[in-house]
Amino acid sequence: MSVQRIYPSAVADCWGYEALQLVSSGRWEQALQLWTEQVDPAMLCVWVAEIIALGRTRDGQLLDEIRNWSVQKSDSLRWRIFHLAEDQGFDTPTGALGLSLFWSEGSMSLEGLEPIFPDSQLSRQMCHCMLLMWVIQSTDNPEEGARNLLTQWINEENK
């Protein structure tokens, strides 16, 4: 059965359709990479925080702050997210999510110092790492996890 028949909404979104085809051919990691290349990393971080928050409570404060980012962007919130992510550990999905959001906008320097901006691709790369960690840790079948996450994104985007 074709990806088009299973996920008809994906046809309207070419990159989403391509990503689902990659998953169907066993290349789920490449599908997640394509996703992070096509979507604004900050927007993806906020969306993933919503998804993760549905199933977790221990990362609550960090996830709440990331979800607040879309309505209350400020440098102080961005730094609060960074410190909470650091405490969580950048080697966890939620910590990587926070770091990706931190890198997505603004300087890495403390206030009063010369601004230093991260490489423009750094946030996308960390977002990709976060998606890999999340899919691997949240399901026994990463291919199915990637398909489900991508399908949910595509369906919400095409509403």
List the domain boundaries for the chain. Answer: 41-153
Question: What pLDDT, on the 0 to 100 scale, is given for residue 136?
Answer: 93
Residue 113, phi-psi category: left (phi > 0), alpha (psi -120 to 50), beta (remainder):
beta
Element (H, E) at 130: helix 122-138
pLDDT in tens, 94-110: 999 999 999 998 889 88
- DSSP H or E segment with residue 87: helix 75-88
Rounded Cα distance, 14 and 119, in Å: 27
> Residue written as tokens 């996450």?
149
Average confidence (pLDDT) over 37-50 = 89
pTM of the model: 0.81
49 pLDDT band, cuts 50/70/90, is confident
